[in-house]
Amino acid sequence: MTGVCGCCGALRPRYKRLVDNIFPEDPEDGLVKTNMEKLTFYALSAPEKLDRIGAYLSERLIRDVGRHRYGYVCIAMEALDQLLMACHCQSINLFVESFLKMVAKLLESEKSNLQILGTNSFVKFANIEEDTPSYHRSYDFFVSRFSEMCHSSHDELEIRTKIRMSGIKGLQGVVRKTVNDELQANIWDPQHMDKIVPSLLFNLQHAEEAESRSPSPLQATEKEKESPTELAERCLRELLGRAAYGNIKNAIKPVLIHLDNHSLWEPKTFAIRCFKIIMYSIQPQHSHLVIQQLLGHLDANSKSAATVRAGIVEVLSEAAVIAASGSVGPTVLEVFNTLLRQLRLSIDYELTGSYDCAVVSTKIIKEHEERMFQEAVIKTTGSFASTLPTYQRSEVMLFIMSKVPLPSLHHAIDAGKAGENRNRLTQIMLLKSLLQVSTGFQCSNMLTALPSSFLDRLLSAALMEDADLRLFVLEILISFIDRHGNRPKFSTISTINDISVLKLKVDKCSRQDTVFMKKHSQQLYRHIYLTSKEESNVQPHYEALYSMLALISIELANEEVVVDLIRLVLAVQEIAQINEDNLPVYNRCALYALGAAYLNLISQLTTVPAFCQHIHEVLETRQKEAPYLLPEDVFVEMPRLTKSLDHLVPEVFFRQSKISEVLGGSGYNSDRLSTPYIPQLTDEDRLSKRKSIGETISLQVEVESRNSPEKEERAPAEEITYETLKKAIVDSVAVEEQERERRRLVVEKFQKAPFEEIAAHCGARASLLQSKLNQIFEITIRPPPSPSGTITAAYGQPQNHSIPVYEMKFPDLCVY
């Protein structure tokens, strides 16, 4: 009886009969819609039967796959899809298990059309929002299989493209199904991210165009949407857009590993495109996490090829531009510390030719590649700084300046030839970085923009012997002072007749600027004066000096500053006129031309007619008698100079007495104008010229030897007569030679003498100085004797009583 019931279809369970009725005799006729509606109604009416319906459909599908009856397979999947879309009851979980089992069976098939069919069904399922959670469902197989499909290498291009697109859609479905459900498997685990992210990047690599697209793919054409590249980009954007704070690291790490494994940092185009997609897709407040990941990866690749490091730094630069203001995170200085550390390592690699000083490196280091990397680091430093607020940029500039090795009493630098090269390269690269950071820096208060600790170190570098370093310092100072964008208008030095055509933006000097100039003006003037005397100056140096003088006159000038600037420029003219430093003809002509251009500018800014007339007269005289003293003849590609400047007529010079007279009549301080400018040299100015600590110590020794307490003997006072003066003039050369020889002997003694001899010499001087100090202390501490003699105390011991100050009698010459 049991066998008879099994053979008779009328005696089978109703759900099986309803499932069998949806299949036509000919699979080409497709799903029987009326019977499918009956099956759906039955499933909705009796939801407890849904799991059995799913199991029976799964059984039929597996049987049809094995028999290669692919028409019935398609019908079964269509029926499953419709049941999924219609049923949202609590029993759907058991039905889903049967559904996923059937999808997995299709994905395991070697037939590409079955794989695509299974993927499409899974995508439809992924878009369904389930009413009840599932605690035991796993998608590990689907992640692995879809990732494998993304790397399909089918021989036919069309089929390969379809399989890859199906794989990407499947991964997108897995992400949508699991990313927001805490009860599902965590898709952000490294085991899943290490499969999903590389699969998407693999398809992005095969883009026809290497350039990055718009931040939003909504404008893409229909044709592009059908390509695996565009689909992978959309999927990657969706994945990153759903990433929370704690998941960013797991999502970014596979990107870095993929770029390393496929050597994609060197062309850097694809790497930049990837991180543009990342930066535009993640939430803005998480941008600094991406940057920290890149910085850590840069440190991990510190001994990789320069092209690889340069690619990482270029990506950093692009990411910083996209990041919102302040997104670098709380450790701003750590970011710049990492970049500067990489810069110093690159300099060491360039000089040593090895990534490891202790072991002979098998890698060949190319200098031009290291230079390319250094320029990339400098550019990135500027990109980072441009995203920071003003107060943080000030801190960054102080931080960079503190890293610049400068020869001073308190800052050691490397000695020797190799040390000099390392110091010079480090100084140049750090000052370049500082220039990048200061470019575009806007600050209303110069006291906060240029604090003393920063300005002192910066101006110390302005007097270095290296011409490139001096030029960088001048450019940095100009970028600070120029707050209204007037610098391009002074890019060339000329004596323009009407400065109104320049359309200068001039504001009244603020109180903060006045305070800044009172505090630091003499320091700035001194360094401008000393920098102008350097023999190694070329045209860019004079252009920078002119720009700096002009910008100070526009941005920071009041009447007192204008007077001092005029005195300074007249002193620069005197440098060229007297020529104590034996400057070449070009340098002297350049100084004359610099003074002419600036005085022409300042005369028009002050609008004093008599002053303008005097400047105009001198310029006309020069045009006729000595055109080689004008900027139009000096600051050109082929300067038109004279052989000698010894026979210049007085009319070609700007006269201090005349300028003092004409400006004094307009309310300017004529006494100050008539006083020649003389810079006050400091120890820092002299030390900045030194190239090594050995020379710095020698200078200290020289100063100490001059003030040594051993030199107690003083020459007797000599009556000054005509013969004395004549003898002094005649013997001045000999005296200078003796003084130079004495200095040389002192320096040689402290450089070559044994340590014991120097220690004994210093010890003797110290003991002699101590004895003198003891004598002074005894004289000052011991009270004067009482006029009535000594008074004997009760114990019989003499006791001195000092006279009060108001009772003491002083000589008349000591009383004020």
- Tens-digit pLDDT profile for residues 691-719: 433 343 333 334 444 444 433 333 444 55
In this structure, which amino acid lies at residue 523?
Q
Quote the pLDDT of residue 18.
82
Q: Decide if 314 contacts 274 (C-beta within 8 A).
A: no
Question: Using 50, 70 and 90 to split pLDDT, how confident is the model at 722?
Answer: low
Q: What percent of the chain lies above the pLDDT cut of 70? A: 78
Residue 69 banded pLDDT, cuts 50, 70, 90:
confident
Cα–Cα–Cα angle for 591, 595, 600, rounded to 5 degrees: 150
SS3 91: coil
Q: What percent of the chain has pLDDT over 90?
A: 26
Q: State mean pLDDT over 215-225.
A: 47
Mean pLDDT, range 358-367, rounded to an integer = 58
Query: Is residue 260 scored above 90 in pLDDT?
Result: yes
Q: 95: burial class by Cβ within 10 Å (0-12, 13-18, 19+)?
A: buried
**Lowest mean per-residue pLDDT among 458-462, 663-667, 714-718:** 714-718
Give the pTM: 0.70
At residue 812, the pLDDT reads 54
431: closest CA among 374, 369, 346?
374
Looking at residue 506, its pLDDT comes to: 81
Higher-confidence residue of 328 and 323: namely 323
Among 24-33, 51-60, 561-570, 694-703, which stretch is predicted with the lowest mean pLDDT?
694-703
Distances (CA, A) of 76 to 52, 65, 111, 117: 14, 11, 17, 11
Residues 580-594, mean pLDDT to the nearest whole number = 92
pLDDT value at residue 148:
93
What mean pLDDT comes out for the span 358-386? 78
**Residues 22-58 as b or e (16 or more Cβ within 10 Å = b):** bbeeebeeebbeebbeebbebbeeebebbbbbbbbbb
At 312, list the tokens.
């990482």
Question: Residue 460 has what pLDDT?
Answer: 85
DSSP string for 578-641 = H-TT---HHHHHHHHHHHHHHHHHHHHHHT-HHHHHHHHHHHHHHHHH-GGGSHHHHSSSS---
Predicted confidence band at 103 (pLDDT cuts at 50, 70, 90)? confident
Say which residue, 728 or 630, is predicted with more confidence.
630
Q: Which residue has the higher pLDDT, 759 or 472?
A: 472
Stretch among 249-253, 295-299, 446-450 having the lowest mean pLDDT: 446-450
Would you state the pLDDT for residue 36? 83
Instruction: For 743-779, write each residue's pLDDT tens digit.
Output: 777 777 777 777 777 777 777 777 777 777 777 776 7
Query: SS3 for 792?
Result: strand
Question: In terms of DSSP bridges, do strands 791-792 and 798-799 run parallel, antiparallel, or are they unpaired?
Answer: antiparallel
Q: Calculate the CA 816 to chain-centre distance.
A: 62
pLDDT winner (highest mean) among 606-620, 722-736, 778-792: 606-620
What pLDDT, on a 0 to 100 scale, did the predictor assign at position 94? Answer: 65
Q: What token pair was written down for 37?
A: 């509606």
Query: Which pLDDT value is given to residue 8?
Result: 52
Q: Does residue 758 sit in helix, strand or coil?
A: helix
Give me the pLDDT at residue 725, please.
61
Q: Give the C-alpha separation, 48 to 90, whole Å.
A: 9
Q: Residue 453's pLDDT is what?
A: 86
The tokens 């806007």 sit on which residue? 442
- Alpha-carbon distance of 121 to 107, in angstroms, equals 11
pLDDT of residue 733: 57
537-567 pLDDT, tens per residue?
A: 999 999 999 999 999 999 888 889 999 999 9
Q: Which has the minimum average pLDDT: 204-208, 273-277, 371-375? A: 204-208
Please give the pLDDT value at position 796. 42
Looking at per-residue pLDDT, the higher value among 735 and 302 belongs to 302
Lowest mean pLDDT among 150-154, 339-343, 474-478, 641-645: 641-645
